[in-house]
Amino acid sequence: MNLLATLATLLPTLASYRPLLDPLPVDRHWPWLLLPLAVLIAIAYKAIKVSDLAEMKRQVTVLSVQIVVGMVLAAAALWALVAAI
Amino acid sequence: MPQPPSTRWHPVAAIAAWLAPGLGHVLLGQPRRGGLIAIGVGGMWILGLLVGGLSVIDRHEHWLWFLGQMLLAPSLIVEYIAAYLGNAGLLTASFGRPAEHGLLLTTLAGMLNLMAMLDALHRDPAERRHRPEAGAEPEAQAS
């Protein structure tokens, strides 16, 4: 499991981490931060835009997936462009 | 006869939304929507500070990003605290990916809060109610 391997390498470095005073040591694991970023953007955006809050869960899920898929596709397209040049 | 949408503006709610994300909608009588905005915008801002540290809010070092960050009033307080802690040598400077993500998250939080502020500025407080069924009596409008 990639996530478990990430956590296993991250936990020892977290021992010396002082929240807010030190930056989080995520240099090698930064792509995982895109997941909470996508979900929080979706929550904030849909909380403003959705007229009936009963639809929030479905709308947030759909937008989160769209953002993540969009970022993956954009990354793939840029990688292909760089590789082709 | 359906009521026309309210055209009233709510500058106090917009200022409250700047002071604390979601507070503007709470003042407009929409606590659930305000809570969701607080989770989304506030969560993103706090996550940015946890990832990059307080040093990501720096009006001198990252002045362009600060324009977005200051759309959330607590960033101004954090900038002051970060400057104090930095001068005292208690703050570790942030570089590389953590700094990039901290800047991105806190600036995005500010820009989304601008959306929330504009929404609170002209939102019709009665909009929180479900639309009445066809032929049913419309609910009384909130003042």
Per-residue pLDDT reduced to its tens digit, A12-28: 667 778 888 888 888 88
Which of A20, A40, A51 has its CB closest to that of B54?
A: A20
Q: Which two tokens stand for residue B39?
A: 């989770």
Single-letter amino acid, residue A8: A
| Cα-based angle B119, A52, B7 (whole degrees, multiple of 5) | 40
The CA distances from residue A54 to A14, A58, A62, B99, in Å, are 38, 9, 14, 36
Residues of B in contact with A19 (CB under 8 A): 50
- The CA distance from B66 to B82, in Å, is 13
Angle between helices A34-49 and B43-52 (to 10 degrees): 160
Count of CB contacts below 8 A, A vs B? 96
- The CA distance from B19 to B22, in Å, is 9
Alpha-carbon distance B17 to nearest alpha carbon in chain A (angstroms): 12
- In order along its 143 residues, chain B shows pLDDT tens digits of 566 666 689 999 999 999 999 999 999 999 999 999 999 999 999 999 999 999 999 999 899 999 999 999 999 999 999 999 988 888 888 788 889 999 999 999 999 999 999 999 998 877 654 444 444 444 444 43
What is the ipTM for the molecules in this complex?
0.81
Nearest Cα residue to A36 out of A1, A54, A4, A60:
A60
Residues of A in contact with B95 (CB under 8 A): 23
Which of B41, B50, B130 has its CB closest to that of A52?
A: B130
Per-residue pLDDT reduced to its tens digit, B117-132: 999 999 887 765 444 4
